Structures are given as structure tokens and as C-alpha cells.
Amino acid sequence: MQSQGKQGKLYIVGIGPGDVELLTIKAINALKESEYVIGHKTYLDRIRDLIEGKKIIESGMGKEVERVKLAVKLAEKSIGSLVSGGDPSIYGMLPLVFEFMIKNNLHVNYEVIPGITALCAASPLLGSPVCGDHVVISLSDLLTPWEKIEKRLLHALKGDFVIVIYNPSSRRRKTNLIRAMEIVLNERGDVSVGIVKNAFREGCEVSIKRVSEIVESPETVDMNTILFVANSETLVKGDKMVTPRGYSSKYDF
Ligand code: SAH
């Protein structure tokens, strides 16, 4: 496709948890319209069939800034997509795109396509652990100091929120998970934790464990896993975890 003379556009596309059937129609249309697609190899691999024939720019982990700079530059003249796993605004590429454009006073034409975030994909696989007020915390201390993460976790526990944990573990970062689970144990006791690994991807595993079991075998939780820490209202029955909204206390059924 020739792009000379026409206005460019940057789509920032959320591609959901993995299964291509969980991409939105808007995401598919944006990819179709794009001349180039830029992203991390893992995410590009998930949508290979949809981007056949496009100019594909793969970049590695830790290269987020370079990826965004290039995507914004290309968007001056051509139409392209920067892809992000799940939703781009949740621990994704979107804030960096805005930060970069604001800091450098750049104005490119853009459109954000939301995606299904890991929380929304994983929660119904467990039952309904998140139905009302909840807190989302990432245990990655690459961009957030660990002390701050601990403080936020503690306050979420004090507020009796169901706590959803992104980035619970990585190859380099094993101790954060153990430390976080010890804080949960101290503050809330040995409650249930819903564990979803690879939601809507190959190797999907769903289980419910006690906090103490995770402390004993933290290797069961890896970087492809999301956790749901029960609050005082959460019920566990068999393989289902449900935090009731309160209907049964109000209605007879
Ligand atoms: N932007 C993404 C999150 C990126 S942070 C989103 O909106 O989902 C990466 C973390 O998300 C992982 O460490 C894991 O905790 C979680 N995650 C992403 N996809 C997942 C999936 N399919 N199953 C379980 N957890 C997932």
C-alpha cells in the first residue's frame, strides 16, 4: 500500500489474553487497515494469521521505549498498529505512548482499541471472584519501588478488597511473590487464592489454593499467571470461587 501524501495513523491495539477469537472486531479492522504492525514477538506470534503480508517489526522485552518511538515516528506518514497483550492501558504500552508524545510535544493521529485484560479473561474461569470492589496490584518492581508495592498491598488487605495480582512472578523475581503472600497471611490469614495460568491460551490451568500452599511451593506461579486473593465474603465451593454481590441476603431463592 502506498502511503505517500496521506495522513498517517497509529492504532494502539489490545489483542486480549491470547485466543484470537477474543480480539474485538475493531482490533481486527485496525490490523487489516495497517501497513505495518509493531510489537513484542510473543504478541505478534498470537496474531500471525491476521497480519500476513504486513510489514512486521518485532522487538524484544525491555525495548518498549524504542518500540514506541518507532511506532510514533512511522505514524506520521503511514497507518500502523502497535500491539499490546490484554488491554494496552493496563500494565501495557499505552501510558508510554502518551508520556512520549506529551514529553516531546508530538501530535500524531491515533486511536486506542481496548482489549480484554487478563483479569476479565481469568475471573470467569474461576467462577466470579471479582464482582464488586477490588484492587489490582502488580508485583513487578521494575518500574515501581518494592516498598510502595508492599504498602499498597497492605492497605488493600486492610480495606477487605478482593485483590487481583498481575505479574506475580518472573524468572528473575521469585522473592516478591513469597513476601507478598506472607503479608497476606499476616493480615488476612490463610485465605483462598484463585490461580489462573495462561487464560485463553495453550496450557490454561485453573486452581484454588491456600496462601500457605503458595508460600510452600511458589514455583506453581509463574509470569503467565494471575492471582485472585479472597476477601472475607468470598466463598469457595469445589472448583469455584465466588464473591457474592449480596442477592441471597436480600431475596429468597
Ligand atoms: N496488558 C496486559 C497485562 C500485561 S502485564 C493485560 O491487560 O492483560 C503481564 C501480566 O498479566 C502477567 O504477568 C500475568 O500476571 C497477566 N496475564 C496476562 N495475560 C494473561 C493470561 N492469558 N493468563 C493469565 N495471566 C495473564
Question: What local confidence, expressed as pLDDT, does residue 5 receive?
Answer: 56
Per-residue pLDDT at 1 exceeds 60: no
Ligand 1 atom index nearest CA of 18: 22
> What value does the mean pLDDT take over residues 194-205?
98
**Among 68, 90, 116, where does a domain finish?**
116
Is there an atom of ligand 1 within 6 Å of 44 CB? no
In the block, cell 494502539 appears at: 12
Q: Is residue 136 located within the same domain as residue 235?
A: yes
How many domains are contained in the chain? 2
Is there an atom of ligand 1 within 6 Å of 32 CB? no
Look at the alpha carbons of 113, 24, 92, 58 in this order and tell me if their dihedral is positive or negative: negative
Q: Is residue 124 located within the same domain as residue 94?
A: no
Q: Is residue 43 located within the same domain as residue 148?
A: no
Top pLDDT among 249 and 209 is at: 209
CATH number at residue 85: 3.40.1010.10
Tell me how far the alpha carbon of residue 211 lies from the centroid of ligand 1, in angstroms: 20
Q: Which amino acid is at 41?
A: K
Asked whether residue 28 is assigned to any structural domain, the reply reads yes
CA-nearest residue, atom 17 of ligand 1: 118
In the block, cell 515501581 appears at: 144
Q: For 174, which DSSP code?
A: -
Q: Torsion-angle region of residue 91: left (phi > 0), alpha (psi -120 to 50) or beta?
A: left
CATH number at residue 218: 3.30.950.10
**Among 58, 91, 116, where does a domain finish?**
116
Q: Is residue 197 located within the same domain as residue 166?
A: yes
Q: Is residue 13 located within the same domain as residue 106?
A: yes
Q: Is residue 111 located within the same domain as residue 32?
A: yes
Return the best residue to mutate from 90, 139, 143, 224 for the ligand 1 pocket (most ligand atoms within 8 A of CB): 224
Q: What is the pLDDT of residues 220-237, one digit of tens each?
A: 999 999 999 999 999 999
Q: Which domain holds residue 79?
A: 9-116
Tell me how far the alpha carbon of residue 6 lies from the centroid of ligand 1, in angstroms: 36
Q: Is residue 166 located within the same domain as residue 102?
A: no
Look at the alpha carbons of 215, 216, 221, 223 in this order and tell me if their dihedral is positive or negative: positive
> What value does the mean pLDDT take over residues 103-126?
97
Q: What is the pLDDT of residues 132-187, one digit of tens each?
A: 999 999 999 999 999 999 999 999 999 999 999 999 998 777 799 999 999 999 99
Question: What local confidence, expressed as pLDDT, does residue 174 receive?
Answer: 78
Helix (H) or strand (E) holding 11: strand 9-14
Asked whether residue 156 is assigned to any structural domain, the reply reads yes
Tell me how far the alpha carbon of residue 141 lies from the centroid of ligand 1, in angstroms: 16
Q: Is residue 169 located within the same domain as residue 138?
A: yes
The backbone torsions φ and ψ at residue 122, rounded to the nearest 5 degrees and listed phi first, read -85, -35
Is there an atom of ligand 1 within 6 Å of 122 CB? yes
Q: Is residue 22 located within the same domain as residue 124?
A: no
Q: Is residue 134 located within the same domain as residue 155?
A: yes
DSSP, residue by residue, 35-96:
SEEEEEHHHHHHTGGGGTTSEEEEE-TT-HHHHHHHHHHHTTTSEEEEEESB-TTSSSSHHH
DSSP, residue by residue, 140-155:
--SSS-HHHHHHHHHH
Is there an atom of ligand 1 within 6 Å of 85 CB? yes
**Inter-axis angle of helices 94-103 and 64-74, to 10 degrees?**
70
